[in-house]
Structures are given as C-alpha cells and as structure tokens.
Amino acid sequence: MGTKTLKQIEEEFETFQILNEEGKIINEDAMPDLSDEQLQELMERMVYTRIWDQRAISLNRQGRLGFYAPVAGQEASMLGSQYALDKEDFILPGYRDVPQIVYHGLPLYQAFLFSRGHFQGNQVPEGVNVIAPQIIIGAQITQTAGVALGLKKRGKKNVAITYTGDGGASQGDFYEGMNFAGAYNAPAIFVVQNNRFAISVPVEKQSAAKTIAQKAVAAGIQGIQVDGMDVLAVYAATQQARERAVNDEGPTLIETLTYRYGPHTMAGDDPTRYRTEDMDNEWEKKDPIVRFRKYLESKDLWSEEKENEVVEKAKEEIKAAIKKTDEAPKQKVTDLIEIMYEKLPKNLEEQMEEYKEKESK
Amino acid sequence: MAQMTMIQAITDAMRIELKNDEEVLIFGEDVGKNGGVFRATEGLQKEYGEDRVFDTPLAESGIGGLAIGLALQGYRPVPEIQFFGFVFETMDAISGQMARLRYRSGGRYNAPITIRSPFGGGVKTPELHADSLEGLMAQQPGLKVVIPATPYDAKGLLLSAIRDNDPVIFLEHMKLYRSFRDEVPEEEYTVEIGKADVKREGKDISIITYGAMVHSSLKAAEELEKDGIDAEVVDLRTVSPLDIDTIIESVNKTNRAIVVQEAQKQAGVAANVVAEINDRAILSLEAPVLRVTAPDTVFPFSAAEDVWLPDYNDIVAKAKQVMNF
C-alpha cells in the first residue's frame, strides 16, 4: 500500500517539455505566447550568456576575475525563468545565478566586481529588484518567503523568485522557506536547478525522492518538474507559476532538469573526478542553445550571421565591462566601516579614526 | 506615570510603536491570538489586526528569513524567538544574514529588525530556555545587543531598538518580567542604545553588570555598605557596543572594579569589559579587575540552579577580594 502511494506521487511529477532535442515542438498546447522578437531575444540572451561564461572562465584563469561559478548548460533554466518576470518582481539568487540578476538590471561590471570581491558590486541600482548572490545555500529560500509576504501585504501584483541547486534542496531552510510561503499563501516561486551534482555528490545521494519537484507536497504547494534544457518549457512553467502567485493562488516549486558543462566553481574543482565523459556527451546533446537554434532556424528566425553579431556584441560589452571594473576605486577599511551601520557605534567611531590616520599616510 | 512590571513596559512599547509606525510588524510562535507565552504581546493582535501581529509556523530559521524578506520590502519587523536557547536554529539568519545586510549590499539594503527573546535563570525552566547566549551575539559585527534590567529601561530601550535602522537583539530576562513594579511614564520616551546607567553611585569599587545581576549587585552593594564599602553599580544596558565612557569614568573614580554576569566565565561579555578597562584605565587600578560568573558547565538542571547561578553573596565576596588585594 505504502509503495503504491509513493509511486502515485512520483507519477504526478512527469517532466514538462515543449521543445525536444531536435528542436521540434512536441507539446503545441503548452506553447507560450511569445512573439518572434521575443523568441529571438531569448536566443540572443542564451548565446550572450554562453560567451560571457567562456570569457569569465578565461578571465578567472588570467586572475582578472575572482569567484566564479560556471553557468554553461543552464542558460535555458536561468534565462527562460527570468524572462517570465516583471521588472517589479524580486529575485533572490544563489551564487551561480548571476545571469538572472544581470538581465533583471544589474550592470555587468558590477557582476564582475561581485566576482572580484568589491562592495560596489553589490550596490544594486535603485529600482532593480534583486539582492546580491547568496553564498549560504538555503538562506535565500526563507528570505524569499519574507519578500513574497511583503509583496502580498503591500497589495502588489508581483512575485519573489529564488534559485537553488539540487544539493540545496536538502537544507532545512529549503523546506522552511517553502512551508512558510505555503502557510501564508505568499506569491513566491522556488526554482531548483537540478544539474545532478552538488560539487561531486550526485543527486541520488541527496535524497531517495525520485524528483525534487515532489518535495512541494511536504509544503502543500504546487510542484512541477521541467526539462531545464528547454527554454520554452522553463519560460512557460515560470509564467504559469507567476500567474498563479499574483492571483493569490500561492507559491510554486519548479525543478529544472539541467546540467553544468563546466566545473562547480573555478576554485580548483575538477569534474573529471566525479563525472564520466559519456555523461558529459549525453548532456551536450541536450544543449539548450543547439536545440533552440534548430527551432528558430526552422522558423527562419535565426541565422549564423545573427549569431555572430551576438557573439561580437557580447565580447565587446564584456571587454568594456571589465575595463569599468578595473576603474573601480580600491576599497579602504574606512569604506567597510562606513557601511556597517546607519550610525556608527563607539567602537567603530574609534576604529574609523584609527584607519583614517593610517590611510592618510 | 504608572506602576508597571517589565513585561507590561515591553507590551506598552510595542503598542506605542505599532501605533506610531504602520511598517512595524510583530510575529513569532504564539504571539498573535495567544498574546505570547509570557503575555508580552497580549491584546496587540486584537487592537492592530492579524496583518500587523501574527503567528508563524514553528521554525526559528524561517522566522529569521521572514524578517529579512519583510525588511527588504520596507517593513520594520519585530520577530520573537520564544526562548533564546532556540537561537541556534536561526544563527545564520541573525549573524550570517541580517547583521550583514547593510554591509553586503554596500548600504543599498538594511535590516531594521528587532529580535525580542526571553532568557535567564532562576525560574526553573526546562532545558535550553534560560541559557545566557548574549556573548555569541556580541561577537557579531552588525548587531547591537540590548539587555534591560528595569521596566523603565525596558520600555525606553525597546522603543529605541524598534526605531533603530539596524538589527538589534533585545534580550528579556525571565526572572525580571514580573519580579517588581516600577514607575514608568505612560507617554513615549527613549533610552539611548549603547548608554550604560549608574544605578547606584559609590566611590570605593565599581560593579559593572547587566540583566538580573544588576539587582544582585544592588543587593550586594547594600551588604558591602554595612562593612563600610561604598560600591558603584553600573548597569551596562547595552552589552554591544559597550558604553566605554561610563565604564572608564566609574573606574577612574573608584580605582577598583569587578564585572558581574550570569553567563559562564568563558561566555557573556565580562572578558571584553575587563580588556577595555585594562586598555584604557590600567594606571587607575589599585587591583586587577575580577569577574563574577557562572561556572563553565552547561546551564544547570533546574534543581541545581540555586548552587550554580551567581548571587549577591558571590558578588560581595569578590568585591571584598578586590578591596583587600
């Protein structure tokens, strides 16, 4: 009896897909309402982000960037979900989710400053509703419940969206955040980007649950598993979750099945220790960009020439952004003291004087 | 003026701020309809509605995250942690997150959050209710830690805490909740955070303390007076940041000092006070600055509180030791 129930639950979380690996629409009914220009824009963003990832890895190797968590492979999951948002929606990203906040309005040079470890990277411009990437895995989830409740209390027709990985779904804060949002019926979207590995630990070692999406059941909220290499499916799932949320129908957990082609981070992780070449090859066949390119080409919406334009634009803009990053003033201890409190307490007033003196020499 | 217990003064402060500032939100486990396990939020939900004063699921980490998220939407959250021994569940939300929000965003965001939480021994609570964990909080840059000892201070400090635009940990000693009444103005007033208060003036020795130990120290001062020792009792009121000026002024006057805390010797903030005095007033000292603390064991099984918790006799003995150095 028990086993049967478990199986029944799993069957409710079949993978939602619109575009197959050959770039063919296999689920016409679910096709989101996107104009040709929007479809092209989505493709441009994915190509741009792939180039950005390549450049970031290379800049990191040259020592011109610091902390960097590669994103190649996850473009559909990251950008398809962000594309479904309104500017007033609030994003609480994890450490890998820099592309989402850049497309939500954070200037690229600030993303690079974040990577280098400079406070100005995190000084999000007014009107851009994001917060800096969260390093403590799970903390963004409970905070999202709070932001969503805040939006609901203000009567805004907006959502809070957050991202974590498959490993993150094992944290206590993951459950607490979803459960709080559920209990308050708050407009939150929880995205779990399941790239199958938390550093070296495969998803099978995280949980006996067959899907992460079914963890929504524990919070009594909607859950959906999506092909995370299919930008149209990710967009459609996020858009529907958003609709429900702003119509006071509560939060949604979206699991995107995806893959990172690169290492976990650029801080010495070597994926060949835990992943096979066969596995990498299998997932490369699912490449979200290749698949979407085929689809757009079949509709005459994409060409090699167009793609090259995007690549060149990306390279130029990245170069300009890095230049601007280089121009940021060096941080001083007095800067760091200054941003601790609205009004400095006595101990910091004293230390401020001490470091002003030191810095004036 | 009205005669109020400390808990009534605390409720009064919250009522005033709910009225003054519509961004103030009060939430936690059982703080709504029930009015809190100690009645600290009694009547507030009825008066201000469920939108302002509400219950949460039973999860301290979630409460901390909720507070941060609400702060990101411009609210002024006043969450409650039912007993401060449960802070371990939400250490990341407090020390890892809200304390750092202004800094990590370069001032773009801030966390005007006041966490209220009861603690303190002497009332025979079960495990992990009474532990003094203010030392953990005092070590975290970005926080302020306030511990009132009287109804008057509690109201004025809580109003200041709620109005502060950075996170404040407001710790309420359970033994002081209803142990005595005091004159408390009915209107609003504030007591500045980071300011100590000389609760008894004296010229022979400074007793620097906070929380329930303020009252034990005052009682010890009475005993010492019988032996001709005139003790000055300094109530820190804020344990982070310390009011260095008041501490040093007192030590420079008396030339002798002890620091008294309920926490274990390896915990609390006494070592920090001693270090500041050594740094700044060593030439005034006639004797080393000694500490009265609890022993370095886990907080006692409730039937052992009487032999474990520091009391006024320990303070008298330590003060005499310093006087006779």
Mean pLDDT calculated for residue range B241-252: 98
A342–B165 C-beta distance less than 8 A: yes
Q: Look at residue A157 in the predicted model and tell me its pLDDT.
A: 98
Q: Look at residue A60 in the predicted model and tell me its pLDDT.
A: 96
Q: Look at residue A2 in the predicted model and tell me its pLDDT.
A: 58
User: For residue range B104-136, what is the model confidence (pLDDT) as tens digits?
Assistant: 999 999 999 999 999 999 999 999 999 999 999
Percent of chain B past pLDDT 90, that is, above it, reads: 100
Residues of A in contact with B139 (CB under 8 A): none
Give the distance from CA A74 to its chain's centroid: 9
Write the ipTM. Answer: 0.97
Q: Look at residue A104 in the predicted model and tell me its pLDDT.
A: 98
DSSP characters over A135-172 = -STTHHHHHHHHHHHHHHHTT-S--EEEEEETGGGGSH
CA distance A70 to B27: 39
Beta-carbon count within 10 A of A116 CB: 16
- The label of the residue with tokens 């040709």 reads A36
Q: Look at residue A4 in the predicted model and tell me its pLDDT.
A: 73
User: For residue range B268-282, what is the model confidence (pLDDT) as tens digits?
Assistant: 999 999 999 999 999
B102 touching chain A per CB within 8 A: yes
A145–B243 C-beta distance less than 8 A: no
Helix axes B60-72, A172-183, angle to 10 degrees: 60
Mean pLDDT (chain A, rounded): 97
Mean pLDDT calculated for residue range B11-32: 98
Residue A268 gets the label, from left (phi > 0), alpha (psi -120 to 50) or beta, of left
Residue B132 burial by CB count (10 A; 0-12/13-18/19+): exposed, middle or buried? buried
B106–A339 C-beta distance less than 8 A: yes
Active site residue A274: yes
User: For residue range A71-97, what is the model confidence (pLDDT) as tens digits?
Assistant: 999 999 999 999 999 999 999 999 999
Q: Which of the following is catalytic: A96, A196, A244, A264? A: A264
CA distance B123 to A327: 60
Measured in angstroms, the CA of B141 and the nearest CA of chain A are apart by 8
Percent of chain A past pLDDT 90, that is, above it, reads: 96
Q: Which residues pair with A91 in a beta bridge?
A: A130, A161
pLDDT tier at B1, thresholds 50, 70, 90 = confident
Lowest mean pLDDT among A9-13, A128-132, A177-181, A286-290: A9-13
What tokens does B160 get?
């200041």
Facing B104 at nearest CB: one of A122, A141, A173: A122
What strands lie across the sheet with A160-165, from one edge to the other? Answer: A15-16, A222-227, A252-257, A188-194, A160-165, A90-92
A143–B110 C-beta distance less than 8 A: no
Give the distance from CA A285 to its chain's centroid: 22
B97 touching chain A per CB within 8 A: yes
Residue A78 burial by CB count (10 A; 0-12/13-18/19+): exposed, middle or buried? buried
B71–A346 C-beta distance less than 8 A: no
Q: Look at residue A10 in the predicted model and tell me its pLDDT.
A: 87
Residues of A in contact with B28 (CB under 8 A): none
Mean pLDDT (chain B, rounded): 98
B56 touching chain A per CB within 8 A: yes
A132–B69 C-beta distance less than 8 A: no
CA distance A78 to A234: 9
Mean pLDDT calculated for residue range A5-20: 92
User: For residue range B38-95, what is the model confidence (pLDDT) as tens digits?
Assistant: 999 999 999 999 999 999 999 999 999 999 999 999 999 999 999 999 999 999 999 9
Q: Look at residue B224 in the predicted model and tell me its pLDDT.
A: 98
Q: Look at residue B84 in the predicted model and tell me its pLDDT.
A: 98
B22 touching chain A per CB within 8 A: no
Residues of B in contact with A123 (CB under 8 A): 105-108
What tokens does A113 get?
């400053």
Contact A229, A18 (CB under 8 A): no
**pLDDT tops 90 at residue A342:** yes
Q: Look at residue A6 in the predicted model and tell me its pLDDT.
A: 87
- The label of the residue with tokens 């400074």 reads B206
CA distance B276 to A297: 72
Q: Which of the following is catalytic: A175, A261, A274, A355? A: A274
Active site residue A244: no
The pTM for the full model equals: 0.98
Q: Look at residue B28 in the predicted model and tell me its pLDDT.
A: 98
What tokens does B153 get?
């201070």
**pLDDT tops 80 at residue B177:** yes
Please report how many Cα atoms fall inside a 13 Å half-sphere around the Cα of residue A340, on the Cβ side: 20
Which one of B73, B78, B245, B280 makes the best mutation probe of the A interface by having the most chain A beta carbons within 10 Å? B73
Q: Is the peptide bond before B241 cis (omega within 30 degrees of 0)?
A: yes
B76-79 and B24-28 beta bridge pairing: parallel
pLDDT tier at A1, thresholds 50, 70, 90 = low
- The label of the residue with tokens 């274990």 reads B264
Facing B69 at nearest CB: one of A147, A172, A183: A147
A124–B61 C-beta distance less than 8 A: no
Beta-carbon count within 10 A of A164 CB: 31
pLDDT tier at A5, thresholds 50, 70, 90 = confident
Residues of A in contact with B71 (CB under 8 A): 146
What tokens does A138 get?
């799970």
B68–A345 C-beta distance less than 8 A: no
Contact B260, B217 (CB under 8 A): yes
Residues of B in contact with A143 (CB under 8 A): 65, 68-69, 72, 97
Mean pLDDT calculated for residue range A284-311: 97
B249 touching chain A per CB within 8 A: no
Beta-carbon count within 10 A of A359 CB: 11
| Residue of chain A minimizing CA distance to B76 | A150
Q: Look at residue A178 in the predicted model and tell me its pLDDT.
A: 98
Facing B241 at nearest CB: one of A126, A151, A347: A347
B57–A146 C-beta distance less than 8 A: no
How many residue contacts between A and B have a Cβ separation below 8 Å?
A: 133
- Residues ≥6 apart with Cβ < 8 Å to B51: A153
